[in-house]
Chain A
Amino acid sequence: MVRLFAALLLPAAVPAILTALIWALPGDPAEIICPRASCEATDALAARWHLDEGPWGFYTHWGRAALAGDFGMSWRVLQGVPVSEMLAGAVPMTLVLLAAALLPVLAGAVGAGSGFLPRRADGSLHVAGLVPAVIFSLFFAAVIALRFGGNSFGEEATLWRLVFGAIVLSVADGALAGAVGGVRALFRTERKQRYVQIAALRGEGMLENVLPNVAAALAGQLRARVLHLVSGLVVVEVVLKIDGLGDLLWSGTLKQDFGVVLAAATGFAAVSAALLLAQAMLEIAVALHIRRAPRVAAAVSA
């Protein structure tokens, strides 16, 4: 219930909190474009962008328009371009990058849970995870610039940016090592439980006994891993110049393009909310499954 409530609240709360934060930052976008000392229409520009209504007024105006699908125009990041158009380009890019980075993480988690991935691999993964994402990203960014030159933003270079981005995201900062280690520890602890050992003595499969009991914890871990990847997205997208939500959030903040910042942050909040919802659904499903008195009980009574 808490997760469901949080999931519904996040997309509205994050932009509200961000509005308060960006309002507290020094600088006013209207004054950057039209400085009072050399331009007399600063107030008119502020009024056009609802900056004269205070943070609450700005937020409510932005929220109402966003609900109607109107995110306004970019003020500074890409002056004159509808923010919705920028989002439409950025969201698929971020989702592809995220999915590509999640694949090795999931594969590692499955390998660790099933015992397919040997424990001796953990050390290597841990060492690779010590390298910060920014170092890997800078290296790959230079490789792309030198390899592709003027075609650095062509199709092929963009594909390579995504591939390198996914590798960096999944390996750097301990994402893969954390997933493997976390799942391995969870299964190891669960396998030591008495009910699992009894089930093993009865000749039942290990996984079918353990999985329902660790499913909720696994979902929690998976959500944490995805959030780990999402938080790394900004660095990877900015340094590797991938036109995703993270890059949009960064450039919007840097240029005080409030509409872009709020839209990008709402995108991230929506991802987080979706994950919370998925976790809540899985927990409900597991609870229902356990209440259904599974086959183990039937076997005992027989």
Chain B
Amino acid sequence: MSRFPGFRGAKHLLVAIGLGSTALGTGAMLTFYEESLPGSLNPLYASSMVDYRAQELIFDRLYFHHPIDNRLTSKLVEKGEVAEMGKGWKVTLKPNLKWHDGKPVTGEDICFTVKAMLDPATPSPIAQGYRTILAGCSAEGSNVAIIKFTKVVHNPMERLGFAVLPKSQFQGTAIQPDDVFSQKPIGSGAYKGLRNKRMATYDAFPNGHHNPGVAKLQLQEGGDPAVQVSTLKNNGMQGMIAVPPPFRPEVSATDDLALKSYDLRSWWFVAVNTKKGPLSDRKVRQALNLLLDRMDLREKSIGVKAGEQNSPCEFISGPFVQSSPFYNRKVLVSERADRAKAAQLLKEAGLEQVGGRWSYGGQPVTFKIGMLSPLNNEAPDLLQQISNQLGAGGFDRHEEKVSADDWQRKVVSGAAMDFDLLVGKWSFGVVDEVNEIFETRGANKKGALNIFNYSNPTVDQQIVEYNQARTDTAANDAYHKLHATLADDLPYLFLWKLDTKSAWRSEVKGNTIAPYYYWTEVDAWKYLN
């Protein structure tokens, strides 16, 4: 039945000339809005949370943290044991594992994945991350692989969270981003996936280790959040991965919709360029920290009022969310501005106030402030609000939004040194390691995410302590010290953890949302339409 009258003849004509649009069936198909379409379905080329989530449906990671009890587990491995005197890990695969093309998953596939990541001709930052820890792999028989490390590691399974790729789909170990595999991947996960220009579709693939409860999934790019929420209410779509805070009350008030927490372990920050002008002085950075009124920022950009219960936004004093074992509770959060104390610190740093504006070396201080553009969806106007607060504190400003591409290309690689301050967000899995964000840039891609090329020997030493830790307690202690150091030195002004909430219709049952990867437990999802 046409939803608009007429045009049926024209419809047949257009179909005949091959519009290439996807005919959608009915039945148990679950459709949901994502923040954007995935850039790649090849796990080696994931560059956003959308990519990680989209790929989780298609591939099995060798090991992963169980979303309920956090234990390290695997859907592929039957038995794992230490090998090579602690410098290796021997995995025995479960029987009857199949790729989506029907071929068996073997130890050769595990080793192929390791070798592909080690191949320097594979231009993947994800593979690069594994090159410092993985040394090689050898297969024994059809279902055993011995993965070798560059050194003895105390938590080998923790280091083996990569998605396994099928050897048969590639000509060699140098895997390119523009391979057809990025669009039509073959995995061993619960769903067989395909991405086209407007959506990604997933067909259930029952396997020895997967039995998905929903026959078909369809991912579409979400546009205007108001339209997304309305479509959900009308049952035009069944889910929405990220509901911006201003729309959460409306979703909560709708009987047919449920808000579900999605633990991304992400925290927001203002990175400070410690190499530039007055910002190289720690006192100036501390003054800026005191000029920020976080309560006011939170209220104006996210809509959380002071004293509100169940706030989605939790302040932080360092580079961890408060629920992390690494969070140092002795370091207090600065919630309100203290302009008098800030002014005193600025004067001590040699700045002068002329006509209400701060000057340094006789020149008025102007900050170039940037923000990762997509964050504006979650915290509208945050850039402007931060700028206003610094303006009220006596600084001139120039604001600029930074596109996701430029953030990846320039900011993360430390090439955006023309900025003074950058507002961003880091997201983590269960292990929220921050080494790459704060250690001095160097060989072996150290400090690969160090935005303003910050360098502090004390911080570097504390990161070494963390790396050398052999127990959880030692690792926690090292990071507690790091938290305190960073909260004092302030290469970042730490803002908050902002909860991510999904909305799903009430017909969707058993929808456990895994931290970070979201779909890890998708087999248990049901859609009772």
Contacts and interface: CB of A to CB of B under 8 A. Distances in A.
A96 B183 CA distance: 27
A147 interface: yes
Interface in A73-97: 73-81, 86, 89, 92-93, 96
B124 A34 contact: yes
A33 interface: yes
Nearest to B10: A159
Interface in B215-265: 218, 220, 223-224, 227, 230-231, 234-238
Lowest 3 CB-CB distances: which A-B pairs, in order?
A149-B236, A150-B31, A37-B413
A151 interface: yes
A28 interface: yes
Nearest to A158: B21
Interface stretch (B190-198, B329-337, B460-468): B190-198
A30 B45 CA distance: 12
A38 B449 contact: yes
A48 interface: yes
A34 B176 CA distance: 11
B106 interface: no
B234 A146 contact: yes
Interface in B168-209: 176-184, 195-199
Contacts, number: 174
A38 B23 contact: no
Given A37-B441, A38-B449, A32 B4 contact: no
B230 A79 contact: no
B17 A96 contact: yes
Given A44-B121, A79-B182, A96-B17, A37 B176 contact: no
B394 to A, nearest CB: 32
A33 B123 CA distance: 8
29 contacts: A27-B405, A34-B124, A37-B412, A38-B125, A44-B121, A48-B176, A73-B180, A75-B177, A79-B177, A79-B182, A80-B40, A89-B18, A93-B19, A142-B227, A148-B3, A149-B235, A150-B24, A150-B220, A150-B237, A151-B236, A153-B24, A153-B199, A155-B11, A156-B4, A157-B21, A160-B4, A162-B14, A241-B198, A243-B21
Contacts of A19: none
The interface size bin for chain B is 35 or more
A154 interface: yes
Interface residues of A, number: 58
A41 B121 contact: yes
Interface of B: 2-4, 7, 10-11, 14-15, 17-24, 29, 31, 39-40, 42, 45, 47, 120-125, 128-129, 176-184, 195-199, 218, 220, 223-224, 227, 230-231, 234-238, 405-406, 408-409, 412-415, 441, 445, 448-449
A35 B198 contact: no
Given A80-B42, A158-B14, 9 more contacts: A32-B409, A33-B177, A78-B196, A79-B182, A80-B181, A141-B223, A146-B230, A155-B19, A163-B10
B405 to A, nearest CB: 5
A255 interface: yes
Contacts of A210: none
Nearest to B181: A80
Nearest to A159: B11
A208 interface: no
A45 B123 contact: yes
Nearest to A243: B197
Contacts of B415: 37
A41 B20 contact: no
A79 B45 contact: yes
Contacts of B42: 79-80
A85 to B, nearest CB: 10
Contact of B22 (A30, A33, A154, A163): A154
A170 interface: no
Contacts of B199: 153
A77 B36 CA distance: 12
A89 B20 contact: yes
A27 to B, nearest CB: 6
A38 B123 contact: no
Contacts of B196: 78
Looking at A26, A31, A158, A241, the one whose CB has the most chain B CB atoms below 10 A away is: A158
A150 B29 CA distance: 9
B21 A153 contact: yes
Contact of B236 (A31, A36, A37, A150): A150
A116 to B, nearest CB: 25
A96 B16 CA distance: 12
A24 interface: no
Nearest to B1: A156
B510 to A, nearest CB: 20
Given A80-B179, A148-B236, A149-B234, A159 B7 contact: yes
B113 to A, nearest CB: 17
A149 B237 contact: yes
A158 B223 CA distance: 17
A42 interface: yes
A145 interface: yes
B498 to A, nearest CB: 25
